[in-house]
Amino acid sequence: MIGQILIDGITSGAMIGLGAIGLTLTYGLLRFANFAHGEFATWGAYLAMLGAGAFGGAAPIGALTFGWPLVVALMVAMALTALLALALDAALFRRLRRHGNAIVLVIASFGASLALRSAIEFAFGPEPYYYTTDIAMTLRLAPGLRATADQLVVLAAALVLMLAMHVLLTRTPLGRAMRAVSENPDLARLAGIDPARIVRATWAIGGALAAAAGVFLGVTVQLRPSMGFELLLPLFAAAILGGVGSVPGAMLGGLVIGIAEAAAVPLAGAQYRAAVAFVVLLAMLLVRPRGLFGGRE
Amino acid sequence: MLELSGVTRRFGGAWAVDGVSLHIPPGRITGLIGPNGAGKTTLFNLIAGSLRPTAGAIRFEGRDIAHAPPHRRAALGLGRTFQIPRPFAAMTVLENVLLAALHQRGERAFANWLAPRAVAAEERRNIVRAREIIDFLALGRLAAAPASVLSGGQRKLLELARVLMAEPRLVLLDEPAAGVNPTLLETIIERIRELHARGISFLIVEHNLDLVARLCGEVHVMAGGRLLASGPPEAVTRDARVIEAYLGGAA
């Protein structure tokens, strides 16, 4: 049973981690908590559904429930959601950053979240969608340990994206510049870095990763207009748990939250699953408010 | 090279810098001295772009830069260091220097994925150049260490290294001697001379008049936000108005 909790927890935790990376990056760079971040996951998931439909219904790959069209649609959805994040920043947050304080930005992000969610509900209606109506066959990995092929592929893809993000931040000039702007924007400017460009790169990356998380959630669970909003609390819990601004922290925080949620189902009952992120978040804030990897503030 | 005319900066009702006009010729080491609160650091902030002037013009090599953002001024060849250096503490010495290289393709969002080889080649060239600069400033041993372990004097050298990485033509040094031990100070003076010989111009704010006398051909004196006197160091330090400003400031 422990093995089963781990595999379910790690799979959903990897998705939470993906979403939390963008949240923690925008917080580290712009110093505000973006409540619209979950909607990037929703938009990504629905955009991928449109894309997969447009690319035609090819046969599923192997034991998976989806075919190549969804893989292509995932990439298109990531790119489009990156553009959505950039557009939202240009239209809303950038203007408010110039004049407003952090609380104005947070409230504005609430508004943006509501608008983005309502747009999805208006276009697709409140009922859930699935990428496919095929039944996902479970594979027996070991006695008492079952996972669907979808789960395993989604987990692998999420881990690859996290690794790519880690390499980007630690090994490339762009990542170096992002760390510099996050640590000290004034000094970064004097060192010849244009923070506006770094901010744009961060929105694009955060939006794309959130979209991937949304698509993965759509593959393993379902698509609903509120899916991203419901993801928001686990995302914040993961980001704060890992230390706000820390990308490895967000990844690890996501895994911890995912496993805790999965463990809550047999221990406390499925109805308490959603409360777990909240409990972990509160405990962390009381014990170590900086988070596991947080050094600042 | 650098031309200030009527540069003014107000904070609330107070004039921190009040109508300063000066000309910094190319190929020189120019000093800027004055009692505490004279407005020297504010003037540096105005030239480097951390602050915008309330009035007046700042021209660098003929270009009006008074309202250009700091990163554009850095790209034009204007570098500055701080009185109290604050490197990117979480990064290594090498990373601190590397990030100042200008026009890096690898800092663009897509280049890392679309042209990884070009980015890697550029990065290798930058690393070679950064290591040369780090060795030149006697930090070679510390290249892989996080900047947070550096002493105050070493941080000053690191700042200079970061500035040099951007290939500046004019460097603003804010109190390079403050808080630096005498041995390291000799290293700093010697390196400034060497860089000057390679064609880099300097504008130095400094309280250490010995350093000013040894390095600077011309000195400007500020007091109360205004320019008080200009001339060779030995003449300026004997100027009655300058002595009065320093003594008045102390009393």
pLDDT tens for A115-168 read: 999 999 999 999 999 988 777 778 887 777 888 888 899 999 999 999 999 999
Q: What pLDDT digit, counting tens, does each position of B168-227 carry?
A: 999 999 999 888 888 888 989 999 999 999 999 999 999 888 889 999 999 999 988 899
Over chain B, what is the mean pLDDT?
90
Q: In the prediction, which pLDDT does A295 show?
A: 56
Q: Residue A168: what are its φ and ψ, rounded to 5°? A: -55, -45
Residues near A285 by beta carbon (within 8 Å), at least 6 away in sequence: A240
Over chain A, what is the mean pLDDT?
89
Q: Which tops the pLDDT comparison, A120 or B104?
A: A120
Whether the per-residue pLDDT at A35 is higher than 90: the answer is yes
Could you give the CA distance from residue A280 to residue A256 in angstroms, rounded to a whole number? 9
Chain B residues whose beta carbon lies within 8 Å of the beta carbon of residue A176: 91, 95, 98-99, 107
Beta strands B201-205 and B170-174, pairing class: parallel
Q: In the prediction, which pLDDT does A294 show?
A: 66
Q: Quick one: pLDDT band at residue A37, thresholds 50, 70, 90?
A: very high
Could you give the CA distance from residue B130 to residue B136 in angstroms, rounded to a whole number? 10
Q: In the prediction, which pLDDT does B84 show?
A: 87
Question: B 25-84 residues with CB below 8 A of A?
Answer: 48-50, 69-71, 74-75, 79-80
Whether B112 sits inside 8 A of A197 (CB atoms) is: no
Q: Domain B2-250 is in which class?
A: alpha beta
Q: Measured between CB atoms, which of A184, A200, A205 is closest to B88?
A: A184
Q: In the prediction, which pLDDT does A297 show?
A: 41
Q: What is the ipTM of this complex?
A: 0.85
Q: Which tops the pLDDT comparison, A97 or A208?
A: A208
Whether B166 sits inside 8 A of A188 (CB atoms) is: no
Q: What pTM value is reported for the model?
A: 0.88
As a whole number, mean pLDDT of residues B144-149 equals 94
- Cβ A88 vs Cβ A39: under 8 Å: no
| Architecture label for domain A2-287 | Orthogonal Bundle (1.10)
With b meaning 16 or more CB within 10 Å and e meaning fewer, what string describes A63-93? ebbbbebbbbbbebbbebbbebbbebbeebb
Burial of A143 (0-12, 13-18, 19+ CB in 10 A): exposed
Whether B99 sits inside 8 A of A180 (CB atoms) is: yes
Chain A residues whose beta carbon lies within 8 Å of the beta carbon of residue B86: 184, 187
**Distance separating the N- and C-terminal Cα atoms of chain B:** 37
As a whole number, mean pLDDT of residues B220-237 equals 89
Whether the per-residue pLDDT at A66 is higher than 70: the answer is yes
Shortest Cα distance, chain A CAs vs residue B215, angstroms? 25
Could you give the CA distance from residue A128 to residue A133 in angstroms, rounded to a whole number? 12
Q: In the prediction, which pLDDT does B251 show?
A: 41
Q: What pLDDT digit, counting tens, does each position of B23-50 carry?
A: 999 999 999 998 888 889 999 999 999 9
Q: Where are the domains of chain A?
A: 2-287
Q: In the prediction, which pLDDT does A103 show?
A: 87
